[in-house]
């Protein structure tokens, strides 16, 4: 079945999704753009606006506790507890409890013994003593419309913020602004948005917007 969107409209919808996030499109538009991306080999835009990824900073790895298999751990703990005594003079490690205590993982259950499931779960991750000191909290991404929205807020006059658009794309951007569907235009009602013919590009449309203030 042929798409109801032209190639140019699909490209413009794709640009909107990249700049404002996947949720900026209507469901039918997401379906059409998703099929178009698949047919053209393009990567489908994500939910959040696309922005350059921050360069990773090389940091020293935190000291970790690498969990060996149960047999090796038992031998290490027995050596720490009993030194170089002969094996026949050692006391058995009932239920492997010392294995868990050595990793500061608390006491056993009500029955006082660990299970094979406990050991299996313990070996499926790599425990560390604490969270690293250099954990990173991502900064909010900067979208395509953050600067235009800030300019309108600082200089509260009407402005043409986009041109050379199809009528559908222009209406979509107007709807995005009016409903504050991206963070740049929040809160709802803070910006007025309208569309008008683009007299510099035949058959195209412009979007005009103005900051009108937040509702009290």
pLDDT tens column, 76-106:
655 555 455 554 443 433 445 555 666 666 5
The reply to whether 130 falls in a domain is no
How buried is residue 4: exposed, middle or buried, by Cβ count under 10 Å (0-12/13-18/19+)?
A: exposed
d(CA 181, CA 188) in angstroms, rounded, equals 8
CB 163 within 8 A of CB 200: yes
Return phi, psi of residue 197, to 5°.
-60, 145
Residues 216 and 163 in one domain: yes
d(CA 10, CA 211) in angstroms, rounded, equals 29
The reply to whether 58 falls in a domain is no
The reply to whether 74 falls in a domain is yes
CB 49 within 8 A of CB 20: yes
- Residue 119: CB atoms within 10 Å: 16
Residues 118 and 149 in one domain: no
Domain ranges, residue 114: 70-123
| Alpha helix (H) residue ranges in 85-129 | 97-102, 116-123
Residues 45 and 81 in one domain: no
CB 118 within 8 A of CB 107: no
Domain count, the chain: 3
Residues 215 and 156 in one domain: yes
Q: What is the pLDDT of residue 52?
A: 44
Residues 213 and 152 in one domain: yes
The reply to whether 1 falls in a domain is yes
Q: What is the pLDDT of residue 88?
A: 44
Q: Which residues of the chain have pLDDT under 70?
A: 1-3, 47-115, 138-142, 215-216
The reply to whether 56 falls in a domain is no
């Amino acid at each position: 079945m042929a798409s109801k969107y032209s190639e140019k409209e699909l490209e413009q919808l794709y640009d909107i999704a990249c700049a404002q996030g996947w949720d900026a499109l209507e469901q039918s538009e997401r379906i059409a753009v998703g099929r178009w991306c698949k047919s053209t080999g393009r990567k489908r835009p994500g939910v959040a606006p696309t922005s350059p990824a921050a360069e990773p900073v090389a940091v020293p790895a935190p000291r970790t506790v690498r969990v060996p298999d149960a047999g090796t751990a038992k031998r290490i703990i027995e050596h720490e507890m009993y030194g170089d005594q002969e094996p026949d003079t050692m006391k058995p490690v009932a239920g492997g409890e010392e294995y868990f205590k050595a990793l500061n993982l608390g006491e056993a259950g009500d029955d006082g013994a660990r299970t094979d499931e406990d050991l299996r779960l313990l070996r499926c991750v790599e425990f560390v003593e604490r969270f690293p000191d250099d954990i990173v909290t991502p900064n909010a991404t900067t979208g395509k419309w953050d600067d235009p929205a800030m300019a309108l807020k600082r200089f509260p006059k009407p402005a043409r913020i986009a041109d050379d658009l199809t009528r559908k794309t222009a209406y979509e951007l107007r709807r995005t602004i009016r409903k504050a569907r991206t963070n740049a235009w929040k809160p709802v009602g803070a910006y007025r948005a309208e569309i008008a013919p683009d007299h510099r590009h035949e058959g195209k449309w412009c979007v005009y917007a103005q900051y009108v203030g937040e509702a009290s």
